[in-house]
Chain A
Amino acid sequence: MNPREPLKRVLYIDLSKKSFWIDEREDLFERWLGGVGVAVQLFKEEASKNVDPLSPENPVIFSVGPLTSLYPLASKTIAIFKSPLTGNLGESHAGGRSAIALRLAGYGATVIKGASQLPVYLVIKEEEVEFRDASALWGVSNAITVGRILRETAPGQGVRTIMRIGKAGEKLVSYAAVMTETYRHFGRLGLGAVLGSKKVKGIIIYGKHTIPVEDKKKYREVYDRLYKLSVESDAMKRYHDIGTAMNILPLNYIGALPTRNLNSSRFEGAEEISGENIAEKKLARRIACAHCPVACIHIASIREPYPDEPYFYKTTFISYDHELIYSLGSMLGVKKIDNVLRLIDIVEAFGLDAISAGVSLAWATEAYKRGIVTINETLVELDWGNVENYIEAIKYIVEQPNHFYTTLAKGTREASKHYGGQEFALNFGGNEMPGYHTGYGAIIGYSIGSRHSHLDCAGYRVDQTIKEPPSPEEYVEMLIKEEEWRQVLTSLVICLFARTIYTVENVVDALKPLGYDCTEDELKKLGEEIYLEKQKLKIELGFNPRELKIPSRVFETSTPHGLLRRDYVEKALQHYAELIEYKINTSD
């Protein structure tokens, strides 16, 4: 590691004492690279295994890696914490300007612990942390407004990040998100609630350091090559043109688009809410995370008239992605673009994770229709496509006026435990299902992935490329291998959309001019080690690989590979459990 490299600096912030200090941790960054690799170790140092996710003792770690701010598409920050949604390891990634700002403020990671008595927002600069009073911002119902206010008072226009939580985070909804730069999120697994429990309304990070490079000439050469690969790549076209919303139509066509709480895998409104149609009718602009030429962020605009004055309109800008159109569109039977966008807008304003919010409402709708819960619980009639009532219900999830909504604010696993309907509560390990019902790879991937997310190992992609599934054992091994390699990418830290550009050869090349001399095999081995560290940590935190539960609904609704067989999935999960136990037993 280059001795002048600031990556090794870890900023510790104690909210209870309003103090901070900086430690040099070459030991961690040399052994574990950065990003996920380092954050997991920092988490292990700070957290006890029974820590309550919403207590001051739950640490929040943000980290970046050696490639951050040096190469295109190295644009993500990793957050590690204990998740209030799953009660286990929480990991969430976000872009915007967050990664660049943290890195150029001169840090590789920050550890935030303790809790403030009064609401605060943090301003993190190159050598200093300010704890500013956020009492006036606490309770502001729209997170976008909060961003607007912070923009005015904070330094460093153009070279900073503004992270903040919404009301959902303040109210400790288990799937509250953290927003950054208005349109990017640490969405999944409830980081917003953890910050809310610490009374942290926002975090501003500002910096524009130089990052030294050992071999300048080589650095520019590798940069130029990776840049060229990026702008000429397939990913570039796919993600820039229509964005992730390009998935809606093909998934619907092959029968893999979860619809109405997965009662169907085809949606009759898919054409209308497709990425193509939104782009044609509503797309206002496309933007990028800092240092990413792809610009996959798609922003639509909708114009609504004010009822009290003619020719007076409110224009709202809303960013959309595949997952949001799925969870707040097809999953809730919402067929009109404007209505899907309105739901996205309100979820954004409250600062909720869109997937968990949509899937929770989908479960609630089915439970209501089956009479498991009544209007006494739901307070409004829940019905597929009834957007006005869904908007009310989203407000109730945040406000939690009764036991039902307090429970629903903890996710579908908790809600179905109390009220029944577990067989159609679509969560894996407590995390709500992503928008792909593509086959075995997806279901096994959600189950065994460390975050229970489709991004852990991309089984949903494999499903779409293979004709026949391999044996359950082979499938599990394939997915674990992919997840292991992704530990390297998320330690560097690369946006996963760039995974085809950052092949193992290219990663070795990119690291060399920075003074890292590592071989392809060493990198792969590191991926395996980080993966194992995470699996061990999960088990310590109470996860049991032998007790994975799959909601039976996934076996009742067909996929492009037909109806899935439970015995196949069970065999796969058993093989996974055996492999993990074996890996752990032989590792030390």
Chain B
Amino acid sequence: MECFEKNMSTLVHEVKRLAVLDSERCVGCQLCMFACSRRFGEGGLAKSAILVRSVGGIEKGLTVIVCRACENPPCARVCPTDALGQRKHGGVIFDSSKCIGCGNCVRACDIGAVFWDDETNKPIICVHCGYCSRFCHYKVIGVEKIK
């Protein structure tokens, strides 16, 4: 677990971001969602910062919803306690000890990429570690360097 987290933070420092490369190739397996929760070594989906759902029925295709690392993140701007700090080159860094669970950030993200953890009553936002993309067999999502 510890070694894994170190791993994750080195990845984060290289300023990469998770990108949706081609949602047309998505099969809706949701392995990315399970992977994101598994970062913490648990099963289930409560901790997932990524969501794959159909656009009005599976036959119409699927959409992948995940933080796109805004350069000027609206979610951080509305946080009353600075629990969301701006991440270098886009996205946010979440400090859960400062968060009061007001939910402003959820409403501020236009694409709905701030998820809610009902178990802790706090938001879940992608940290762009790229772990999920290792389990996407169809190369729908991948890690991109930010220039």
Contact = CB atoms under 8 A, between A and B. Distances in A.
Contacts of A219: 38, 41, 43
Contact of B41 (A213, A285, A317): A213
The 4 closest A-B pairs by CB, nearest first: A216-B41, A158-B53, A211-B43, A317-B59
A317 B40 CA distance: 39
A293 B1 contact: no
B46 interface: yes
Interface of A: 69-70, 72, 100, 103-104, 147-148, 151, 157-159, 181-183, 208-213, 216-217, 219-220, 223, 227, 231, 284-293, 295, 299, 317
A284 B137 CA distance: 19
Contacts of B53: 157-158
Contacts of A104: 44-45
A495 to B, nearest CB: 12
Interface string B24-66: 0001111100100110111111111001111011110110000
A107 to B, nearest CB: 13
Nearest to A286: B27
Contacts of A182: 57-59
A3 to B, nearest CB: 15
Interface of B: 1, 4, 27-31, 34, 37-38, 40-48, 51-54, 56-59, 61-62, 118-119, 135, 137-138
Contact of A288 (B29, B57, B59): B29
Contact of A231 (B42, B52, B137): B137
A487 B139 CA distance: 35
Contacts of A69: 34, 43-45
B59 A70 contact: no
23 contacts: A69-B43, A69-B45, A104-B44, A104-B45, A148-B56, A148-B57, A158-B52, A159-B45, A209-B45, A210-B42, A211-B44, A213-B42, A216-B41, A216-B42, A217-B1, A219-B38, A219-B41, A220-B4, A290-B29, A291-B29, A293-B31, A295-B27, A299-B59
Of B30, B37, B43, which is in contact with the most chain A CB atoms at under 10 Å from its CB?
Answer: B43
A208 B33 CA distance: 11
A148 B57 CA distance: 7
A219 B1 CA distance: 11
A40 B44 CA distance: 26
Contacts of B59: 182, 284-285, 299, 317
B7 to A, nearest CB: 12
A208 B37 CA distance: 10
Nearest to B59: A317
B23 to A, nearest CB: 12
Nearest to A301: B59
Nearest to A68: B43
B20 to A, nearest CB: 15
B90 to A, nearest CB: 25
Contacts of A293: 29, 31, 135, 137
A76 B126 CA distance: 29
A211 B34 contact: no
Contacts of A212: 42-43
A159 B65 CA distance: 13
A220 B27 contact: no
B55 to A, nearest CB: 10
Nearest to A103: B44
Nearest to B46: A210
Nearest to B60: A317
